[in-house]
Amino acid sequence: MFKRAKPAQLLRKPSWAQPLLEDLATNGTLIYFPGSAEFADSETNYYTAQANEVQSAAVARPHSAQEVATVLKALRRHLPDSVPIAIRGAGHATFAGAAKAENGVTVDTRGLRGIDILPGGVVRIGAGHEWLDVYTALEAHEPPLTVAGGRAGRVGVAGFLLGGGISYFSSQYGFGADSVRTWEVVLANGDIIRASREDPETADLWDALRGGSTNFGIVTAVEMACFPHPAHFRCSNLFYLYPARQATLQALVDQGSRPDLAVTHAIWAITHVAGMPFKVINVMASTTDPANCGGLDGFLNAPGRVPLVGALKERKHSHFAKQVGNLSPKDGSRTINRSISFKLNSQFLNTAVDMWYGFVESTRHVSGILNTLVFLALPTSMLQVSRDTSAPSFPDPKPTKNSQGLCPEDGPLAIMEICLTWRNADDDAFMIEKGTQFLREVKLAAKEMGLEHCYIFPNYAWPQEHVIQSYGADRLAVLRRVASRWDPDGFFQYRVIGGYKINV
Ligand SMILES: Cc1cc2nc3c(=O)[nH]c(=O)nc-3n(C[C@H](O)[C@H](O)[C@H](O)COP(=O)(O)OP(=O)(O)OC[C@H]3O[C@@H](n4cnc5c(N)ncnc54)[C@H](O)[C@@H]3O)c2cc1C
């Protein structure tokens, strides 16, 4: 799908390289070309093989907001319009060009560091961190703290939050981005802005960034509300044989729809590995309820649970984030993640699993295949918190929807995610086409049952999808207005690739 650049091409510096280097020379070396260790380091360690294979012409490696501003201004001065720019975080987006500019300049934000606990229950996090760094630092505090960040530890802070972000604590605290008090962001003109809900001057930008992807600026740090690490954070990776399917799906629907279970979170997954005759169901569940089963009874008592594996244990948030990360396909796999949403309904979840078998059959011949179907719920409680956190935005003095166009009346919703992994590049097109077809068919079936929902969750979306448009026309209009205020030339819409754009 993406052309691989030839090595000879990469060693020859493009015509814009020299003026850019000279411009930046006075500010220390912030830009690197092929042949340097810094370039090689920035180009690798993406989550997918497809992303690793895209090759930038140069990478910029700033270490502060000021350096990001310097780089951005220099890129605007010297790069021809045809040369793309991308922003890289921890590299966990699951498609190739999300965070890397083919034959262009990739701004690697991983050098933006620092985790500082501020007064008032807020932590300032440099945009270049992964969530595990944050949990580890907050748990070392006395008393231990945590935040509503990514469920897998290696996911990047800014990329996760710009897509909203679903955490183990989402039922109580909304999307991860709802906990952001202040975004520090470098605008297209190089200005460094602090955008916060409480500041009427910048509240629109604060709101827009909560799911607004790469349309507004380069995030250099966030200040996020943290909370005491739950005294009892209990979690488990539960494993089941196939007959547990109906009971575990019902438990997921209960978890997503019963207000008394808002202390729990669960991810339901079924995996098919090439050559393995049986199907394994895996539920990653957590609760902050100290009582016996912590509201996870439906999962713990489901028949077909593999005994001894995955007892409910009291753990640190960091521990579970590490464990869940280890269950994901290993870094550098050929993989796609993509999702659709519909109303949470146990009959329909079972229908979707039935349809999944048709898909699995059609990909059985693909070398190294590992297919996982995932369900998770967006409970009404989560959508309520998210809506109530929204900042007033014209024409809504009291917003009825959250920053991604969702309201409590939409809930509870289900997100159905497919995670497909295979061995050979020759199978890329086939796997993408088959996965897309499966999602299309399930969406149609949801529509026929009156359960469809247009929302596309940005963190599990695919480049051709109209993610921001799925937030609805009202929200799109608000985001476009905010962009025209803070980036009047549309630099981030037209010159910066990756993410999901408001101009499509
Ligand atoms: C194993 C795994 C587990 C995951 N778990 C979760 C989960 O629990 N909950 C959830 O919501 N999502 C989850 N995701 C999805 C993940 O949150 C998104 O893919 C997210 O975009 C990754 O951010 P990143 O910085 O790691 O990736 P990158 O690929 O580096 O960046 C992702 C996007 O964000 C942009 N971006 C990154 N940093 C900045 C910045 N500083 N300023 C502006 N733009 C920036 C990039 O340009 C790119 O478009 C998971 C993904 C994987 C692979």
- The residue whose CA has the least distance to atom 35 of ligand 1 is 159
Specify the ligand 1 atom closest to the Cα of 47.
53
pLDDT of residue 394: 67
Mutation choice for ligand 1 from 88, 132, 155, 339, CB with most ligand atoms inside 8 A:
155
CB of 84 sitting under 6 A from ligand 1: no
Which residue of 162, 179, 205 sits with most ligand 1 atoms within 8 Å of its CB, as the best mutation to test the pocket?
A: 162
Mean pLDDT for all residues in the chain: 93
314 CA to centre of ligand 1 in angstroms: 28
Q: Is 249 in the pocket of ligand 1 (CB under 6 A)?
A: no
What confidence tier does 341 reach under pLDDT thresholds 50, 70, 90?
Answer: very high
The pLDDT of residue 294: 86
**Residue closest by Cα to atom 33 of ligand 1:** 159
- Section 55-70 average pLDDT: 97
Q: Is the CB of 261 under 6 A from ligand 1?
A: no
What is the rounded distance in angstroms from the CA atom of residue 58 to the CA atom of residue 40?
10
Output phi, psi for 259, to 5 deg: -55, -30
Is the shortest distance between the CB of 165 and ligand 1 below 6 Å? yes
| Ligand 1 near 88 CB (within 6 A) | yes
Q: Answer yes or no: is the C-beta of 94 below 6 A from any ligand 1 atom.
A: yes
Please tell me the distance between residue 365's alpha carbon and the centre of ligand 1 in angstroms: 31
Spatial CB neighbours of 209, under 8 Å, sequence gap ≥ 6: 161, 162, 177, 180, 183, 185, 195, 216, 219
Contact 206, 182 (CB under 8 A): yes
The pLDDT value recorded for residue 257 is 94
Q: Whose CA is nearest to atom 50 of ligand 1?
A: 155
What is the pLDDT at residue 332? 85
Give Cβ neighbours of residue 170 (< 8 Å, ≥ 6 apart). 148, 176, 265, 378, 379, 382
Q: What is the pLDDT of residue 326?
A: 84
Handedness of CA 301, 302, 307, 313 (dihedral sign): negative
Give yes or no for a contact between 395 and 401, defined as CB atoms under 8 angstroms apart.
no
pLDDT at 361 over 80: yes
**Is residue 226 in contact with ligand 1, taking CB distance under 6 Å?**
no
Q: Say what the pLDDT of residue 6 is.
A: 46
Mean pLDDT of 30-50: 94
Q: To test the ligand 1 pocket, which listed residue (87, 113, 215, 339) has its Cβ within 8 A of the most ligand atoms?
A: 87
Residue 324 Cβ contacting ligand 1 at under 6 Å: no
pLDDT band for 12, please (50, 70, 90 cuts).
confident
Is the pLDDT at 397 greater than 90, yes or no? no
Question: Residue 391 forms beta bridges with which residues?
Answer: none
Distance 94 CA to ligand 1 centre (A): 8
pLDDT band at 329 (very low <50, low <70, confident <90, very high): confident
Rounded to whole angstroms, how far apart are CA atoms 59 and 110?
12
- Give residue for tokens 């399930």: 442
pLDDT at position 475, please?
93
Out of 46, 54, 59, 160, give the residue to mutate to test ligand 1, the one with the largest number of ligand atoms within 8 Å of its CB.
160
Strand locations in 242-321, DSSP E?
A: 264-273, 280-287, 313-314
Spatial CA neighbour of 492 closest among 123, 104, 212, 228: 212
Does residue 236 register a pLDDT over 70? yes
Residue-wise pLDDT for 246-279, tens only, equals 999 999 999 999 998 889 999 999 998 877 777 8
For ligand 1, whether the C-beta of 111 sits within 6 Å is no
Residue of 92, 157, 170, 487 to test ligand 1 pocket, by largest number of atoms within 8 Å of CB? 92
**344 CB less than 6 Å from ligand 1?**
no
Alpha carbon dihedral 146, 147, 149, 154, in 10-degree steps, equals: -30
- Nearest-atom number in ligand 1 for the CA of 165 is 11
- pLDDT number for residue 276: 75
Rounded to an integer, what distance in angstroms lies between the CA atom of residue 404 and that of residue 377? 16
State mean pLDDT over 189-201. 96
Instruction: Give the residue-averaged pLDDT of 96-112.
Output: 96
| Shortest-distance Cα residue to atom 32 of ligand 1 | 159
Listed in sequence order, the residues at least 6 apart from 283 whose beta carbon sits closer than 8 Å to its beta carbon are 237, 238, 240, 248, 251, 252, 266, 267, 268, 269, 299
CA–centroid distance, residue 450 to ligand 1 (Å): 32
Q: Which atom of ligand 1 is nearest to the CA of 87?
A: 47
Cα-to-centroid distance, 93 and ligand 1 (Å): 5
Ligand 1, atom 36: closest residue by C-alpha: 159
Count how many residues are written for the chain.
504
User: What's the rounded Cα separation, in Å, for the pair 387 and 402?
Assistant: 4
In angstroms, rounded to a whole number, what is the distance separating the alpha carbons of residues 353 and 439?
A: 12
Tokens representing 131 are 């969530």
Burial code (b: 16+ CB inside 10 Å, e: under 16) for 94-112 equals: bbbbbbbbbbbbbbbbbbb
Residue 306 CA to residue 309 CA, distance in Å, equals 6
Query: Averaged over 125-154, what is the pLDDT?
Result: 97
